[in-house]
Structure 1
């Protein structure tokens, strides 16, 4: 498969939110971007602040831009802050160095990314992982 389709993106969102509710996480915002960074599906749970969707999008976009999950980028940024500050400027702030942005792959190829915000970065990432798994990717 060369592209992420709407049904898969919706399955990622639904799977992530179902996992979050099962784990008792705070209200989340979830967004799925295609490989070109365009939104396919998104949701903001009741109680999630208005900025959460923008943060989730920055996580997903940052993962796509740098070909790495944001948990990896956060670790890399610790050792090279000047470079990553420059990346943030180049991307006009559309990158977040916190776990919760994950690449979506199919047959080893990057087809998109999911970004989640609302709980701790680690919990956001766990929900993203669950969503990706729920979509069979």
Structure 2
């Protein structure tokens, strides 16, 4: 499981990465393996829907077992299928990079990180920076 201390490290490092790289204001959430929020922070100036988008990215990854980037590819290939999933998923489906699954040493899912606020590629880079800073591993 991801501890609160680890979640806070992830969030701090992701936000620091965004500031250092001059990204737009980010919002970062860390969910446990069941999709429940451990911690969330919204940078000053981040727009009001960002917590829901970050949560949607992370929850989407957990729900389908792949990164939200992979869900974006899936949406391009099978748009009707992915659109139908949105009605089934309580936190929605966000088919854009920035939702990353976190795994333990054995490759078992222990949670997910969701980042939003800049481009999807930059959101994902911030998520990965946070996961690395917490000495955890992103799903391969």
For this structure pair, what is the TM-score category when the shorter chain's length is used for normalisation? over 0.9
Query: Structure 1 5/92 Cα, relative in aligned 2: closer, same or farther at 3 Å?
Result: closer
CA distance in 1, matches of 2:123, 2:39: 17
Cα shift at 1:134: 0.4
CA distance 1:43–1:93, shift in 2 (3 Å): closer
Count of residue pairs the alignment pairs up: 135
Q: Which runs of 5+ in 1 are unaligned?
A: none
Q: Which residue of 2 aligns with 1:135?
A: 134
Long gaps (5+) in structure 2: none
Higher relative contact order (CA 8 A, sep 6+): 1
SS in 2 for 1:50: coil
Indicate the residue corresponding to 1:119 in structure 2: 118
Q: Which runs of 4+ in 1 moved over 3 A?
A: none
1:102 aligned residue: 100
Any residues of structure 2 matched to 1:1-137 within 5 Å, and which? 3-92=1-90, 94-107=92-105, 108-137=107-136
